[in-house]
Structure 1
Amino acid sequence: MSPDADLIAINPGRRLRILMLSWEYPPVLVGGLGRHVHALSGALAAAGHEVTVVTRHAAGAPLREHVNGVRVIRAAEDPVAFPLATGSLLAWTMAFNHTLTRAALRAGDDGEYDVIHAHDWLVAHTAITLAEHLGLPLVTTIHATEAGRHQGWLPEELNRTIHAVEHWITHESDRVIVCSGYMRQQVTSLFGAPQSRVDVVPNGVDDRAWRAGARAVAAARARFAGDGPLIGYAGRLVYEKGVQHLVHAVPRLHRRHPGLRVVIAGDGPYREQLQAEAAALRLDGTVRFAGFMTATQLPAMLAATDATVVPSLYEPFGMVALEAAAAGAPLAVAATGGLAEIVEPGVTGVTFPHSDPEALAGAVDRLLADEVFARRVARRARSMVGERYSWPAIAGLTVLTYLGAGREGGRHRPPTAPAKIVVPEGNLLFRDDQAS
């Protein structure tokens, strides 16, 4: 199913009562998922729907509050706490789901709902329990897959268990939402879900929040640029984001563009390795690791660049590409995953094969060598963001998925036997060409 946004204006439908489950929500923000749930719930509430978000508690945050039309219920951690770390992730997730389930059941006592919307595998146990207990349709957004994060491999017991939970909640859901056609192919092939139950609803972006003023852009340019062009990157510093390939492309670009500077915004476990690689290439004066930037600093930095690079090996959607486009940056992105669906080569940016520093350098050089072309594709990309990826439009498409799930009967159907999940050790679930 590919919902048509134009239907929203013609038939807005009835007011829905939505119970949303997420392991992160402001002020708890780990990655993009929390921001997504926050923006989506707000857009749904603005459209007149009744939205309750049940999430985990953070120190200093109220257990219950109404914010921008959204009721937020936070599940306090039990006295026997588990650390949120890789080695204890499954134990932490199970403990978290106990507290989340209790909080969500109390929310169920407070009122009636039409649909449950779960976000990712970390809330699977609560979502499935609640859907069966309340007899409601279950919609799940799969934001990424464990197999995709590891390029098709499930090397450890932890990875295989997460994969199994993703499989489970996919089959227990009445409808599954994914952010791109690439992710739809992954979910249907990895988990055997029928395509008719997997809806593509892209992520949204508030383009107004990414438009920096002229003074802020000039200040960012003065701070980060040298006598030549400025290249930017924003995102987590982890292997699958491919920043290492950007670093290795810099010497080629520097030879073509003297005075070139590169600013890398963000942090993560791969930062020390990246800094070591930059030092080995003698790029200390060229590449700057700027760390995290504020909501004011980041749009200004992106707008100040002559090219913003998204070199990911794996990218279910490519939110940073939309944000950079909204900021007005010319885009050079890896032709992988959802990124390949956002950027049309030569129209809204340029693309290159992932994991190829030479091709990356060639794509960026095309932007740096032709300023008229670079600004033209940047303008088109910025217009595209406003037309296709506004949060009101994304909320409307999500409502169509809710209505589809409701028509299919939800948890009122008799329970079916769970699908058997077999994941051999070290199994390669898809080839590299499928992953890209």
Structure 2
Amino acid sequence: MKILASAYACEPGAGSEQGKGWNLALEMARQGHTVTVLTCGSHHRAAIERYLQNNDVPERLTFAWHDIPGWPGPGYQNPHRIRQHYYRWQMTARTAAAELHAENHYDVIHHLTWTVLRWPSFLGGLGPPFIFGPVGGGESAPWRLRQGFPRRGMAFEFKRDLLNLASRLDPMALRCLAQADVILVTDEATRRYVPPWWQGKAHVVPDIYAPPAVGEPVFLSKASSDGPSILFAGRLEYWKGVQFALGAVARLRGHIPGLRLTIAGTGPDEAYLRAIAEEKGIAGMVRFVGQVPHAEMHRLYGSHDIFLFPSLHDSAGQAIGEAMAHGLPIVCLDLGGPGVAVDSTCGVVIETRAQGRPAVEQRIAEALAQLCSDRDRLLALKAGAFARAEQYSYRRRVEAMVEQFYRPSPTKRVAGSAATPRGRPETP
């Protein structure tokens, strides 16, 4: 098939959205499809061209650079006004996509990145079937779990709630959904933001991907003098839920000898989290290791036993796929994409319905305690994490995407299909 992939974020060797855009497009080409990637040149052209000079990629993978005249991308390290830049880029990309289609006659156009429902793409209605997503962003931090948020967090959540409500009336977002032949959403909460008359073409598809599996299932802490080791990796913002991880570890102090928590990442709420660790008397059990280069993350995954990811509204959370590829069982909340992607074969999903912060912290603590004390179950979940990682590999995900939503014609497929049952993802 001939595919036009819209990937504002797309870069080799990167994590998060940039890595996902690159790996999906590369895998499509490896599976024999002719792929043109429309991406932001000022953000990614130099890195992509440098990679192409030194590495072999399929000849059927090509790139089209699109930039906003007079406004280069602000970058990801200090992303001032990057959301405004992204929105404007999407609006101006339609002309570039139309010209590319007139020249290449694509079979399908797929919006890959960024993946937020309220941030529309304008590539529908150009002729080929248009796939939008997977997109998230409809999740919301439960009110009971907002207790203890920093003041900035309370204000941001309120603003986010208003933006999600406004998106239901946003003519640009509604136009995008109307023109999409297939709408892929990361979770049921986001799906509820799709108007009822388009629910039939909305499908729940986890937006989590895993690299090739690394290593074999082992219980690392039993092979050393150290106690069980727990890892969190992500941006240090209140909505990532690290405060729940700290509360859970505090409850286990004195009960599990040698227990330690490693926190990898930086962000605006690092001081807030360090203060919690000090207040709860667990600063000696917690290591803040800062931002770890993506290429070096395998070392951290390989030296820990459990991956704890208590995010409140992550649509994806690519660190989950990476952790599973290293055989780490996942402990997460039943919210957002992680709550859909993780099951009882590879981790523990903590129920949050009608629960306050103390109750959720206690449930996380109980799950960690059980895994740390039950070697057989931990090893079984490690093996399950490897298996789940294979299901979420880029190869398997692209195969499923093409089979389910590219052929036959997405329009024909959706017209004859029912909506996905509540909470049950279609893939992998």
Task: Report the TM range for the smaller structure's normalisation.
Answer: 0.7 to 0.9
Residue pair 1:117, 1:139 contacting (<8 A) in 2 also: yes
- TM-score, normalising length: structure 1: 0.74
Q: Give the CA RMSD over aligned residues.
A: 3.7
**Per-residue CA distance 1:329-350 (angstroms, 9 max, x = gap):** 23322233443443333x4222
Secondary structure of 2:65's match?
strand
Deviation at 1:308, TM superposition (A): 1.7
Residue pair 1:40, 1:395 contacting (<8 A) in 2 also: yes
Q: 1:100 and 2:93 equivalent? A: yes
Deviation at 1:205, TM superposition (A): 3.4
Deviation at 1:207, TM superposition (A): 4.0
Q: 1:375 and 2:379 equivalent? A: yes
Q: 1:50 and 2:34 equivalent? A: yes
Partner of 2:399: 396
Q: 1:384 and 2:388 equivalent? A: yes
Aligned counterparts, 1:36-435, within 5 A: 36-58=20-42, 61-62=45-46, 67-68=57-58, 69-80=60-71, 88=81, 91-119=84-112, 120=114, 127-128=121-122, 130-132=123-125, 134-145=126-137, 147-149=138-140, 155=159, 164=170, 165-179=172-186, 183-184=187-188, 186-192=190-196, 194-203=198-207, 205-208=209-212, 210-211=213-214, 227-345=226-344, 347-354=345-352, 355=357, 356-386=360-390, 388-399=391-402, 400-408=404-412
Amino acid aligned to 1:389: Y
Secondary structure of 2:254's match?
helix
- Between the aligned residues of both structures, percent identity stands at 25
Q: Judging changes above 3 Å, is the alpha-carbon distance between structure 1 residues 101 and 150 closer, same or farther for their aligned structure 2 residues? A: farther
Deviation at 1:352, TM superposition (A): 2.3
Q: Distance in 2 between matches of 1:374 and 1:122?
A: 34
Deviation at 1:138, TM superposition (A): 1.2
Q: Distance in 2 between matches of 1:329 and 1:64?
A: 31
Secondary structure of 2:235's match?
coil
Secondary structure of 1:329's match?
coil
Q: Distance in 1 between matches of 2:87 and 2:17?
A: 19
Secondary structure of 2:283's match?
coil
Residue pair 1:36, 1:203 contacting (<8 A) in 2 also: no
Secondary structure of 1:237's match?
coil
Q: Judging changes above 3 Å, is the alpha-carbon distance between structure 1 residues 396 and 201 closer, same or farther for their aligned structure 2 residues? A: farther
For structure 2, the 5+ residue unaligned runs are 144-156, 415-428
Deviation at 1:121, TM superposition (A): 6.5
Amino acid aligned to 2:89: F
Residue pair 1:262, 1:288 contacting (<8 A) in 2 also: yes
Q: Judging changes above 3 Å, is the alpha-carbon distance between structure 1 residues 118 and 344 closer, same or farther for their aligned structure 2 residues? A: closer
Q: Judging changes above 3 Å, is the alpha-carbon distance between structure 1 residues 161 and 74 closer, same or farther for their aligned structure 2 residues? A: farther
Residue pair 2:90, 2:121 contacting (<8 A) in 1 also: no
**Per-residue CA distance 1:372-428 (angstroms, 9 max, x = gap):** 221122112212322x22222211221130235454499xxxxxxxxxxxxxxxxxx
Residue pair 2:12, 2:22 contacting (<8 A) in 1 also: no
For structure 1, the 5+ residue unaligned runs are 1-15, 411-436
Q: Judging changes above 3 Å, is the alpha-carbon distance between structure 1 residues 80 and 367 closer, same or farther for their aligned structure 2 residues? A: closer
Amino acid aligned to 1:360: I
Q: Distance in 1 between matches of 2:226 and 2:134?
A: 44
